[in-house]
Amino acid sequence: MNLKIGVFDSGVGGLTVLHALGERIPEAEYLYFGDTARLPYGAKSARTVAKFAIEAAQFLQARGIELLVVACNTATALALPAIREAVRIPVEGVVEPGAERAAAATTRKKVVVIATEATIGSHAYMQALAGREIQVCEKACPLFVPLIEEGWAEHPVTKSVAHAYLDDVFYDYENGPDVLVLGCTHYPLIKGVLRSVVPWRVEIVDSAEWTAQSVARKLGIQRTARATPGMELACFATDSVERFRRLGQLFVGQPLENVTLVDLGG
């Protein structure tokens, strides 16, 4: 397979999606764009998010990608239609695959979505689950991202924060939600912590994993996930290549050597 896939995020969190894609579709060539100079997108207007996302999408399209994965929940929630209109290639977001899996997994029709404040404010997952008679509880968890980027994915402080966010949501398990959706691409790094905090019968839906499965399914690829440490990968960042490499290794579990600093302007 000579397919060239582009992956875009406002920062390094989308590398969890890239990693999942590499496991599902190891033969592809990957280009990753992290708009690290202009994050966080969550504090910006929908118009600005769309502008930045379109610039990144067109940058990757100009380098020959044949499929774009928007590995940013905020950009997916606020700008996916605009991105699709701006490029000539198929575009996949991260919200719908996660919502689709949540709908299939819940037996109680009660789902909790945790994400950044911007994604929660967009109600993207609630809208994606609308019409399926599913009760959605949305919970912003803004401290998780800085804790993860500090390298504290397994730190006791992170577990304490998870308890503070989630204990009240799952206090009555017998009548409460039975699915937890990770609506931020950073959150798979603390899946172990979350697993220890929420009731064991609650299914944790990783949107990164299900996005990769959705892409593979649409490409007609049937494959059992496996590690692919040697994927062909080029990364682009709009700020500090050194920081991108350092954080990126936390997300993909291997050194990121091919990282280029780019300036889109604005």
Claim: this prediction has a pTM higher than 0.85: yes
Residue 24 banded pLDDT, cuts 50, 70, 90: very high
Question: Is residue 184 flagged as an active site residue?
Answer: yes
User: Among 134-138, 172-176, 198-202, 237-241, whose mean pLDDT is lowest?
Assistant: 172-176
Rounded distance between C-alpha atoms, residue 174 and residue 182, angstroms = 21
Rounded distance between C-alpha atoms, residue 74 and residue 39, angstroms = 11
Q: Which two structure tokens, joined as six digits, stand for 266?
A: 């604005």
Q: Where are the alpha helices (DSSP H) in the chain?
A: 15-24, 46-61, 73-86, 95-105, 117-122, 124-128, 144-149, 156-166, 191-197, 207-218, 241-252
**4-93+211-261 CATH choice from 2.40.128.90, 3.40.50.720, 3.40.50.1860, 3.60.21.10:** 3.40.50.1860
Concatenate the DSSP letters of all residues of 12-28 into one string. STTHHHHHHHHHH-TTS
Q: Which two structure tokens, joined as six digits, stand for 132?
A: 């399926």
At 174 the pLDDT is 85
- What is the identity of the amino acid at 135? Q
Residue 227, pLDDT above cutoff 70: no
pLDDT tens for 137-173 read: 999 999 999 999 899 999 999 999 999 999 999 998 8
At 115 the pLDDT is 94
Question: Is residue 235 flagged as an active site residue?
Answer: no
Residue in 137, 141, 184, 235 annotated catalytic: 184
Would you list the domain boundaries of the chain? 4-93+211-261, 95-207
Residue 226 banded pLDDT, cuts 50, 70, 90: low
Beta bridge partners of 138: 113
Residue in 72, 137, 141, 235 annotated catalytic: 72
At 44 the pLDDT is 85
| CA angle, residues 233, 235, 238, in degrees to nearest 5 | 175
Residue 28 banded pLDDT, cuts 50, 70, 90: very high
Residue 47 phi/psi, 5-degree rounding, is -65, -45
Residue 224, pLDDT above cutoff 60: no
Residue 146 phi/psi, 5-degree rounding, is -60, -35
List, in order, residues 6 or more apart from 147 with CB less than 8 Å away.
153, 155, 157, 158, 161, 190
pLDDT tens for 102-113 read: 999 999 999 999
Beta bridge partners of 67: 5
Neighbours of 5 (CB within 10 A): 23
Average pLDDT, the chain: 92
Top CATH class of 95-207 equals: alpha beta
Residue 99, pLDDT above cutoff 90: yes
At 223 the pLDDT is 61
Residue 46, pLDDT above cutoff 60: yes
User: CA separation (Å) from 43 to 116, 183, 241, 248, 249?
Assistant: 10, 17, 23, 23, 26
Q: Do domains 4-93+211-261 and 95-207 have the same CATH topology?
A: yes
Rounded distance between C-alpha atoms, residue 172 and residue 169, angstroms = 8
Q: Which among 157, 26, 175, 156 is positioned nearest to 108, based on CA atoms? A: 175
